[in-house]
Structure 1
Amino acid sequence: MNWIFLIIIFLATLGGGIIPMVVRRIHPNLPLYLLGFTGACLFGITILHLLPEVFHELGHSAGIYIVIGFFFQVALAQLSHGTEHGHTHVPQNDHHHVAVAPLLLGLSIHAFMEGIPLGFHFNDSASMSSLVIGVAAHKLPEALTLMTVMLHSHQKGMKLWRILLIFSLVTPLAAVLAAEAGSHSAQMEHVLTYVVALVIGAFLHISTTIFYESGTKHHELSYRKVLAISAGLLLAFLTLIFE
């Protein structure tokens, strides 16, 4: 277990959540382009590094678990309201309120799933460092969106900071638990391979949803968003130098 990697994930989440807490006027296009960049990076790293790993370990059956993971994320989004891929759904007036508990539950389950591959032993040495880049990039806008929703739901003071701190710890904690489980049992290490396949499905759902749904009223792709997506894919391809 590389603790530096976990610290990077923690700080990326914390930093993303702090932005709406200290910057009261965020340019409306910033989350859009940030999501495009990070979603493309996560998509590229999933395709380039994670998919080959699970197909090498599980063969054709990996596809079954990837599809299950994809649709599990579809179901999970009903709790989180799509916060993990940029949907805010903030209340428009005082008569509408955000259902905080289900949102936090859904997003925490998703964050826990994100951490499991970080505790997995990959055959390709480049996979782990590349995965850290992809997850850290995704955590920043994810936490930014979460805390924006929390602010609009009138969460204040220390409660707001506790929510952010606990949420920032979920993914590193999942990585530690997965690493500990895998190190004590070869059978558990094999089980983790199936879980990683499920997480890959979730990553594919999140990243592709970011491409086509997040941020714009008519879901169009502006040239600026295309540039952001292209930059994210370029970063993913650059991780191949780690091999």
Structure 2
Amino acid sequence: MNLTYLILILAATIGGGMIPMLFRKVHPNLPIYLLAFTGAFLFGITIMHLLPEVYHELGHSAGIYIVLGFFLQVFLQQLSHGMEHGHTHLPSTGGGHQHVAVLPLLIGLSIHAFMEGIPLGFHYEDQSALPSLMLGVMAHKVPEALTLITVMIHAHQSKTQLWRILVIFSLITPLSAILAAQLGREFEVVTNSLVYLVALVVGAFLHISTTIFYESGTKHHELSRQKVLAIAAGITLAFVTLIFE
């Protein structure tokens, strides 16, 4: 377990959440293209590093857990309203006012954040997998936290509440990674189970990243030139991580 990785993820999450607090008029295209870039990067990391690892460990049965993880994420987004892949169009009440069910949203996004931390506590045969995954999670945390705090601002949370939500949310993924690594060292049953949990997270990552490609905020969900360039940049950076090998 590399604590530097976890500190970087913590800093990225807090930094992303601070953007809408410091700049109330964030350009609407910023989260769209940031999500496209980080989603493509996370997709590349998942395909190039995590997917080979789980198939190496589990063989053909890995596919079962990946599919389960994919549909687990489908369920979680019913709570989070798809915020992890950039959705902010939450249900509205009459008069055009947004009505935000804060608690289910935070529960869904917190479970997702906890799942993101589990692979960071796993021991990989491929030495390039962990640093690459750290970069992918760190990049994804910026637009994720940005979207979370933007929605919380529209839910009329006070500044104190915003900071409390941001700090707690920022800690979930690092603490999940520490918990997975610590329990994996102390209990053999946890060690043997971690690879199955990683396979579930791979499925969730595939759902999130591919959804971002088509839905991250652009009108009619089209692939604009700028969005294609952002996706291409993310995939290219994922290829660059192969130099860690």
TM-score by length of 1: 0.98
Distance in 1 of aligned mates of 2:96 and 2:234: 38
Cα contact 2:46–2:205 (8 A) shared by 1: yes
Cα contact 2:33–2:230 (8 A) shared by 1: yes
**Residue 211 of structure 1: aligned partner:** 213
Deviation at 1:217, TM superposition (A): 2.4
Distance in 2 of aligned mates of 1:14 and 1:88: 19
Cα contact 2:80–2:105 (8 A) shared by 1: yes
Cα contact 1:40–1:229 (8 A) shared by 2: yes
RMSD: 1.1
Cα contact 2:62–2:199 (8 A) shared by 1: yes
**Residue 11 of structure 2: aligned partner:** 11
Distance in 2 of aligned mates of 1:160 and 1:30: 21
**Residue 147 of structure 1: aligned partner:** 149
Distance in 1 of aligned mates of 2:72 and 2:160: 33
Residue deviations 1:60-101, cap 9 Å, x none?
A: 000000000000000000000000000012558564410000
Letter matched to residue 71 of structure 2: F
Letter matched to residue 160 of structure 1: L
Cα contact 1:54–1:193 (8 A) shared by 2: yes
Residue deviations 1:182-220, cap 9 Å, x none?
A: 111233111000000000000000000000111112110
Distance in 1 of aligned mates of 2:74 and 2:34: 22
Deviation at 1:157, TM superposition (A): 1.8
Distance in 1 of aligned mates of 2:88 and 2:106: 13
* Larger mean Cα displacement after TM superposition, 199-208 or 154-163: 154-163
Residue deviations 1:110-148, cap 9 Å, x none?
A: 000000000001111100000000000001000000000
Q: How do 1:161-176 residues align onto structure 2 when only pairs under 5 Å count?
A: 161-176=163-178
**Residue 127 of structure 1: aligned partner:** 129
Cα contact 1:89–1:149 (8 A) shared by 2: no
Q: Does 1:137 align with 2:139?
A: yes
Letter matched to residue 194 of structure 1: Y
Distance in 1 of aligned mates of 2:4 and 2:236: 24
Cα contact 2:98–2:155 (8 A) shared by 1: no
Q: Does 1:220 align with 2:222?
A: yes
**Residue 23 of structure 1: aligned partner:** 23
Letter matched to residue 42 of structure 1: L
Count of residue pairs the alignment pairs up: 243
Give ranges in structure 1 of 5+ residues lacking alignment.
Answer: none
Letter matched to residue 82 of structure 2: G
TM-score by length of 2: 0.97
Distance in 2 of aligned mates of 1:155 and 1:192: 37
